[in-house]
Amino acid sequence: MSRIGKRPVELPSGVTATLSGQTVEVKGPKGTRTFTATDDVSIKIEENIVTVEPRGKSKRARQQWGMSRTMVANMVSGVTDGFKKELEINGVGYRAQMQGNTLKLNLGYSHDVDFEVPEGVTITSPKQTEVVVEGADQQLVGQVAANIREWRAPEPYKGKGIKYKDEYIFRKEGKKK
């Protein structure tokens, strides 16, 4: 049995969930999120609890059971608290700043990098060396942070580049004479 799948998802106050067919729609203070489950699982909403059950004993049904429950739980936490990824910029002259709906990055290239902020995500730059990506969709927040990091991934010798705030960069020793 799936340890994750058998746990019910509780809806906090201010959050409502509706079910139409296999599609779950969760509304909360930070927005609305939807998820369409496969036919391998059945979803029930009773009072303030969402439960997911497999429709068979097949391997695929058991896989979808845990994944569907996790998707619903992530939607609930996304519309209540939201998700956040923090990035740090290390390097001489490397900086970031928001200009309207565009993140301007100076990363040592001959030109500035203009990153357009997609819909559903807010990006702030509290300091010139910090970027904070926030939103209700966990997948979108992570993808946007990865796209920003991709412009200058941290290198192992000096640690220059864009890294996640909690990321550890394994340092290498330079050449010896």
Strands (E), the chain: 9-10, 16-20, 23-28, 31-36, 41-46, 49-54, 83-90, 95-99, 102-106, 113-116, 121-124, 130-135, 161-164
pLDDT score of 1: 66
170 occurs within a structural domain = no
2 occurs within a structural domain = no
174 occurs within a structural domain = no
For residues 76 and 88, membership in a common domain is answered with: no
pLDDT score of 174: 86
> Which of the listed residues 80, 103, 134 is the one where a domain comes to its end?
80
For residues 158 and 87, membership in a common domain is answered with: yes
> Which of the listed residues 31, 65, 80 is the one where a domain comes to its end?
80
For residues 64 and 115, membership in a common domain is answered with: no
For residues 70 and 97, membership in a common domain is answered with: no
For residues 87 and 103, membership in a common domain is answered with: yes
Q: Can you give the residue range of the structural domain that contains 110?
A: 83-164
> Which of the listed residues 59, 80, 101 is the one where a domain comes to its end?
80
DSSP 8-state code for residue 118: P
pLDDT in tens, the chain (177 residues): 678 888 999 999 999 999 999 999 999 999 999 999 999 999 999 989 999 999 999 999 989 999 999 999 999 999 999 999 999 999 999 999 999 999 999 999 999 999 999 999 999 999 999 999 999 999 999 999 999 999 999 999 998 999 999 999 999 998 887
Q: What's the token pair of residue 2?
A: 């799936």
For residues 63 and 121, membership in a common domain is answered with: no
Give me the amino acid identity at 2: S
Domain total in the chain: 2
Q: What's the token pair of residue 63?
A: 């896989």
172 occurs within a structural domain = no
Cβ(84)–Cβ(145) below 8 Å: no
For residues 42 and 96, membership in a common domain is answered with: no
